Amino acid sequence: MRNMSYPYGGGGYGYPGGQQPGYPQQGGYPQQGGYPQGNVSMPTPESANAAAYGSSGGYPANPGAPGQLGFGGVSQGFNSGPGYGAPQPGFGGAPQPGGFPQPQAGGYPQQPGYGGAPPQQSFGGPPLPSQQNMYGGPGFGGAPPQQPPVSNAPGYPQPGGYGAPAAAQPGYGPPQSQPQSYSSTPSYGGNPAVSQPPGQSYGAPSQMPGQNYSNPSAPGYGQGQPSQGPSAANAYKAKEEPTLRPARNFSAENDANILRKAMKGFGTDEKAIVDVLAYRSCSQRQQIKTMFKTMFGKDLVKDLKSELGGKFEDVIVGLMMSEPEYDAYELKRAMKGLGTDEDAMIEILCSRTNQQIRDINDTYKRMYGRTLEQDIVSDTSGHFKRLMVSLANGGRMENQAVDMKKAQDDAQRLYAAGEKKLGTDESTFNALLASQSYEQLRAVFDAYQKISGKDIEQVIKSEMSGNLEIGMVAIVRVVRNRPGYFARKLYHSMKGLGTDDRTLIRIIITRAEVDMVQIKQEFQKQFGKSLDGFIRDDTSGDYRKVLLALVSQGANMIVEYLPVTRTCHRRVLVLNILPPKTDLPRRIMEPTLKPASNFNAENDANVLRKAMKGLGTDEKAIIDVLAHRSCSQRQEIKALYKTMFGKDLVKDLKSELGGKFEDVIVGLMMTEAEYDASELKRAMKGLGTDEDAMIEILCSRTNQQIKDIKDAYKRLFKATLEKDIESDTSGHFKRLMVSLASGGRMENQPVDMTKAQEDAQRLYAAGEKKLGTDESTFNSLLASQSYEQLRAVFDAYQKISGKDIEQVIKSEMSGNLEIGMVAIVRVVRNRPGYFAKKLYHSMKGLGTDDKTLIRVIITRAEVDMVQVKQEFQKEFGKSLEDFIKDDTSGDYRKVLLALVS
C-alpha cells in the first residue's frame, strides 16, 4: 500500500491549504469518527446523501467509519489544520470553538458584476420604414435587437466583469444570479445545460457538521429531495461557462475577406488572423472555411499552413477543425508511430460525453479509414487496453438515477475486488468506472469511504500501477471535479522546465467553448496564480497571443466590419442603421414528372418482372412504369423488386435494354445525387474533360444538392469530388469549380442594395477599369452571393459601366473560365432559360449531344420542366417536344417525350 502524497499544499486532497471543492473543512479530511456534537439528526443514505451526488466539484464530508463515535482519536493520515478544532466524542452539546464553519447556501457570495443579465444596450430609434423595389419584398425590416451581441474583442472592458472569487466557501458554487451557460448542447465533454436551482451550491455536501439534517430545506441539503430519479441527479449538474462565445453580427463573407487579405502578398498579418479565428465559435469557423473556398477556390487551412509556423500554426490549424475532427486527430496522433501518448488518450476518452464519443468514432473512421477501437486494441495492452476500449464504446449511463442501495452494493464489490483480497480484480473497477453515471459514481465513492475508511483515489493508487492507474484516477477526478481535473492538467503542462505544448493547446482549444471560466477559477484556487499569468510566463509571440485570446472572457460587443481595413473593428454601437434590404419573390417551378397517384410499388415490381421475363422485352411496359413515377417512387420499386425476386432491378434492365434508351432508364433508376455524381465522374474520367457537364451541374445546384452530390460521389467512387476536380482542371477555372463544389453560396441572403452597389464597383475596378483582369474578385462574388443579390449587383453594374455583365465577362475572360462565369450569370438571371438553351444546342445541327439531352431532361423533369419548355418555345419558336421528335427515334424518343409531357 503506497502512501498518498500531494504536492500542492499541506494536508489536503491535492489543493492548496488542503482545501477541496465541496468540503467545508480546512486542513484535509476529518478524523475518523461519527458525527460532531450538536443538534444533529441522523440521516439515512437514501434521504440525506443522495442530493449531493448530482454535482461535480467534490462530495460530502466523510461522516466516519462505521462503529466509531465522535471526532476524537488520531488522524488517519490526514492533517488536522488550523480551525479544525477537536470536538468531544459523542453527539451531545454544541460543537467546540474552532470547529467546522457553518456552510453558506449558494457557494460564493455575489460579486459586483459577476452574474445576472448583461446591461441592456439601447440602439435607439424606431424601425425604418419598409421599402419596395423591383427585387420585391420589404425594405429595412425594423430595428435591430435590443440585446447587444456577444463578442470577445481584445482590449475592451468587460461590462460588469466577473469579479474576484471570494475566499473559499463551503460548497463552492456560483451565485444565485449566475447567467445561463452558453453551452446549450454538450460540447467537448460538457454536461447538458440545466438551470441551477435557486440557492443551490456547486458540489454542495449533503452532510455537514452543525446542520440539521432532518430539515429538508436546510442550506446545502439540495432542497430536501432525495436523489432517486434523473431530475434530482440533474439538479446539481455543474455549471459551465465558456470564455469563447459565438460572435454576434457575424459575417462569414467578411471574415473570409479579412483572412484572404491577411495572407495575400508579402508578409502575413498574424494579428488579423488571431482577431478573427480566436474570437469565433467552432461552428462559425467552419462557415468561414466553407465561404473561403466558395469565394476564392482555395483551401483556407492549406493557406494558413503555408503562411504560419510553429506552435502558433498548431493552434490555428486545431481551431479550424470541427470538435470531433480535432479529438479524432489528437487520438490518432497519440497512437501514431513509435510510442503512445497515453495521457492524451486518457484525457479525451475519460472526459467526453457518449454523443461526443460516438461522433469521434464516426469521424475517426471517415478520416483514417479504420475504427478507433481497432487502433486502440493494436496500440495498447492488458487492463489499460480494456479500459480504453470500454470508454471508447460511449456507453456510460448518463441519465442514470442515483440509487443509494446500488451504490452501497457496488462499493462492497469494489472493496471485495481490491483491498479485501490478495491481488486486485481490475475488471470490477473497469466495469463500474466506465459504465456508471458521474452522479452514481460519486455515491459509490462515498459509500466506499464509509466501508473502507479510505478514499477511492488512494485505493486505486495502492492497487493499480502504470497507465491503468493514471486512467482510473483520471476518471475519479473528472467525476468529482472536471474543471479541477483540467486545471491540474494545464498546470503540469507548464510547470517546471519546458512546456508540454500539445497538452496546453489541446485543453485550451477543447475547453474554451465549454467550461474555461470554471477551469480558470480552479486554477487560481489550486495554484494561487491565474491561468493567464502562467501562459504569459511560459509562452511568447503570436502563440501566446492566441492562447490568451482563447482563455480571456470577452465583453458584450458588436462586431462591426469596415471593408477598407485589413482587420475587423469591434466597438460598442449606440445606433446601428442597416442598409436597405429586400427579398426576391420565389420563382415558380413546375415539374412535368410528378409522383404517381395510387402508387403501388409491389404492382410496379410485378409489371417490370413480367416485362423482362421470357423471350423478348416489353419496352412499353417499362416506359409506362418508370417514366411516370417520381425518383423516390422508383427507389421504392427498386428495393421491393430485390425483396420479391432476389434480383437487382438495374442489372436486369441493363441485360434487357440497349443504346440511348438504356442510358435514360438506368439514369432514372439512380437517386438525384447519384446521377449528378455519376455525370461528374464521367465528365472527368479518362482523357479529356467534359467541362460543359461540370459547369452545368455545379453552376445550377443548390447548397444541399451539392452536399448530397459530394456524399454520393465519395460513396460511389471512394474519392472526394474536390480532389478529382483539382487533379483534372487548372488555373482560374479550377478555382471556380472548387468554389462551386464547396456548396457555400449564401442562399438565404436578403438583397442589400448598398452592398450590391459596392460589389458592382469592385467588379468594375477588377475588370474594365484596370489593365488586365482580377479574376479572383469575379470568382468570389459569383460563387458566393445569392442569386437575388447577384441580380441586384448585375443591375448596379449596368448603371456604372453602361455594359451588361455577360458582355463584360466575355471581353475580359476566355476559355472554360468564360464559359463557367457566363453560365452562372445565365442561371442567376433565368435558370429555365439557361436549360432551354442547353437543350436547343444539344439537338441543333448535325448529330445530337445525347449525353446533354438525357442529363437535362432527367434532372429537370421533376423540377421546372414546364418553365424550361415555355422558355424553349419563346426563345426558338418551336416546342421542345417537336425538337425531340425530329432528332430522336424509337423507344429513346418515347421515353424522352414521356418525361417532358
What are the Cα distances from residue 476, in Å, to 13, 414, 461, 473, 610? 13, 14, 11, 5, 67
CA 409 to chain centre: 39
What burial letters (b/e) apply to 142-156, b meaning 16+ CB within 10 Å?
Answer: ebbeeebbbbbbbee
Q: What is the pLDDT of residues 457-510, one digit of tens each?
A: 999 999 999 999 999 999 999 999 999 999 999 999 999 888 999 999 999 999
Q: How confident is the model at residue 586 (pLDDT cuts 50, 70, 90)?
A: low
Burial of 382 (0-12, 13-18, 19+ CB in 10 A): exposed
Mean pLDDT across the stretch 345-359? 95
- Would you place residue 61 in the very low, low, confident or very high pLDDT band (cuts 50, 70, 90)? very low
User: What does the chain come to in residues?
Assistant: 901
Question: Do 706 and 740 touch, CB atoms closer than 8 A?
Answer: yes
Check residue 130 and give its pLDDT: 37
C-alpha angle 469/474/479, rounded to 5°?
130
Q: How far apart are the C-alpha atoms of 512 and 845, rounded to whole Å?
A: 64
67 CB-near residues (< 8 Å, 6+ apart): none
- Give the pLDDT score at 188: 54
- What pLDDT shows up at residue 239? 81
From the list 276, 300, 108, 86, the residue with the least C-alpha distance to 200 is 108
Give backbone dihedrals phi and psi of 870, rounded to 5 degrees, phi first: -65, -45
**pLDDT tens profile 385-410:** 999 999 999 999 988 889 999 999 99
- Which pLDDT does position 53 carry in this prediction? 54
Percent of the chain with pLDDT over 70: 70
State the burial class of residue 121 (Cβ atoms within 10 Å of its Cβ: 0-12, 13-18, 19+).
buried
User: Closest Cα partner for 766 from 731, 738, 805, 823?
Assistant: 805
| Dihedral over Cα of 592, 594, 597, 599: its sign | positive
Residue 234 binned pLDDT confidence (cut-offs 50, 70, 90): very low
Let me know the angle formed at the C-alpha of 282 by 531 and 435, rounded to the nearest 5 degrees: 75
Report the pLDDT value the prediction gives residue 770, as an integer from 0 to 100. 82
String of DSSP letters for 768-793: TTSSS--HHHHHHHHHHS-HHHHHHH
Could you tell me whether strands 569-570 and 751-752 are parallel, antiparallel, or unpaired per DSSP bridges? unpaired
Phi first, then psi, for residue 488 (nearest 5°) are -65, -40
- Please give the Cα distance from 408 to 435 (Å, whole number): 16
Rounded to an integer, the average pLDDT of 298-303 is 94
Give the pLDDT of residue 79: 38
Spatial separation of the C-alpha atoms in residues 794 and 763, rounded to whole Å:
10
Candidate ranges 44-48, 138-142, 808-812; pick with highest mean pLDDT = 808-812
Cβ–Cβ < 8 Å for 300, 289? yes
Which stretch, 34-48, 92-106, 504-518, 768-782, has highest mean pLDDT? 504-518
The pLDDT assigned to 845 comes to 84
Is the confidence at residue 428, as pLDDT, over 60?
A: yes
Q: Alpha-carbon distance 230 to 227, whole Å?
A: 8
Chain centroid to Cα 432, Å, comes to 30
Q: From CA 707, how far away is CA 15, in angstroms rounded?
A: 51
Percent pLDDT > 90 in the chain is 64
The pLDDT, as a whole number, for residue 615 is: 85
Can you give the pLDDT at residue 275? 95
Pairwise CA distance, residues 812 & 829, whole Å:
20
Q: Please, which residues bridge with residue 570 across strands? A: 559
Q: DSSP secondary-structure letter at 634? A: H
Mean pLDDT over all residues of the chain? Answer: 77
For the stretch 636-648, pLDDT in tens is 999 999 999 999 9
Q: Are strands 559-560 and 751-752 parallel, antiparallel or unpaired?
A: unpaired
Residue 662 CB-density burial (10 A; 0-12 exposed, 13-18 middle, 19+ buried): middle
Residue 694 has pLDDT above 90, yes or no: yes
pLDDT tens digits, one per residue of 739-779: 999 999 999 888 999 999 999 999 999 999 888 889 999 99
> Span 175-202, mean pLDDT?
39
Name the pTM for this structure: 0.65
pLDDT, average across residues 287-307: 94
Mean pLDDT score, 293-312: 95
Cα 608-611-617 angle, rounded to 5 deg: 135
Backbone angles phi, psi at 77, to 5 degrees: 85, 10
The larger pLDDT score, comparing residue 738 to residue 203, is at: 738
The predicted pLDDT at position 689 comes to 84
Would the pLDDT of 96 be above 90?
no
The full 3-state SS of 391-449, as one line of letters, equals HHCCCCCCCCCCCHHHHHHHHHHHHHHCCCCCCCCHHHHHHHHHHCCHHHHHHHHHHHH
pLDDT at position 1: 38
Return the closest-CA partner of residue 759 out of 738, 743, 780. 780
Locate 197 and state its grid cell: 436551482
Among the listed residues 626, 640, 629, the one whose alpha carbon sits nearest the alpha carbon of residue 596: 629
Cell numbers at 884, concatenated:
425531340
**345: Cβ–Cβ under 8 A, 6 or more apart, which residues?**
331, 334, 335, 376, 380, 388
**What is the reported pLDDT for 471?**
93
Closest CA to 458 of 63, 62, 34: 62
In this prediction, residues 38-45 reach a mean pLDDT of 43
pLDDT at 492: 95
Which pLDDT band holds residue 561 (cuts at 50, 70, 90)?
low
Cell numbers placing 176: 444565485
- The pLDDT-based confidence of 363 (bands split at 50, 70, 90) is very high
**In the numeric block, which cell numbers belong to residue 833?**
432559360
- Whether 707 has a pLDDT exceeding 50, the answer reads yes
Which DSSP string do the residues of 723-749 spell out, in sequence order? HHHHHH--HHHHHHHHHHHTT---TTP
Identify the three-state secondary structure at position 569.
strand
Cross-strand pairs, 581: 752
pLDDT digits (tens, 9 = 90+) for 837-848: 999 999 998 889
Q: Do residues 403 and 229 touch, judged by C-beta distance below 8 A?
A: no
The pLDDT of residue 262 is 95
What's residue 238's pLDDT?
65
715-724: average pLDDT: 94
pLDDT, tens only, 438-448: 999 999 999 99
- Is pLDDT larger for residue 145 or for residue 847? 847
